[in-house]
Amino acid sequence: MFRQFGLIGKKLGHSFSKKYFSKKFEEQWIDAAYELYELAEIAEFEKLKETPHLRGLNVTIPYKAEVIPFLDELAPEAAAIQAVNTIKFEEGKLIGFNSDIYGFWDSLLDFTNGAELSGAIILGNGGATRAVLYVLEEKLGIKEVKIATRNPRSANHVSYSDLARLELENYPLIINTTPLGMYPEIEACPTFPYHKLSDKNWAYDLIYNPEETSFMKAAAQYGAQTKNGMDMLIGQAEKSWEFWNS
Q: Give the CATH number of the domain where residue 14 resides.
A: 3.40.50.10860
Same domain, 220 and 105: yes
For residues 38 and 147, membership in a common domain is answered with no
Dist. CA 135–CA 147, nearest whole Å: 14
Where do the H-state alpha helices sit in the chain? 17-27, 45-48, 76-81, 100-112, 127-134, 214-220, 230-245
Task: Say if 245 falls within a structural domain.
Answer: no
Q: Does residue 244 belong to any structural domain of this protein? A: no
Residue range(s) defining the domain that contains residue 35: 3-98
What is the three-class DSSP state of 35? strand
pLDDT of residue 39: 97
Q: How confident is the model at residue 14 (pLDDT cuts 50, 70, 90)?
A: confident
| Residue 19 covered by a domain | yes
Q: Which CATH number belongs to the domain containing residue 132 in this structure?
A: 3.40.50.720
User: Is the pLDDT assigned to residue 127 strictly greater than 80?
Assistant: no
Residue among 24, 49, 64, 196 flagged as catalytic = 64
Domain-embedded: residue 226: yes
pLDDT of residue 146: 97
45/120 same-domain check: no
Residue 108 lies in a domain: yes
Q: What is the pLDDT of residue 130?
A: 92
Q: What is the pLDDT of residue 15?
A: 85
Quickly state the pLDDT bin for 155 (edges 50, 70, 90): confident
pTM, whole model, 2 decimals?
A: 0.93
- β-bridge partners, 74: 96
Q: Is 217 marked active-site?
A: no
Question: In total, how many domains does the chain have?
Answer: 2
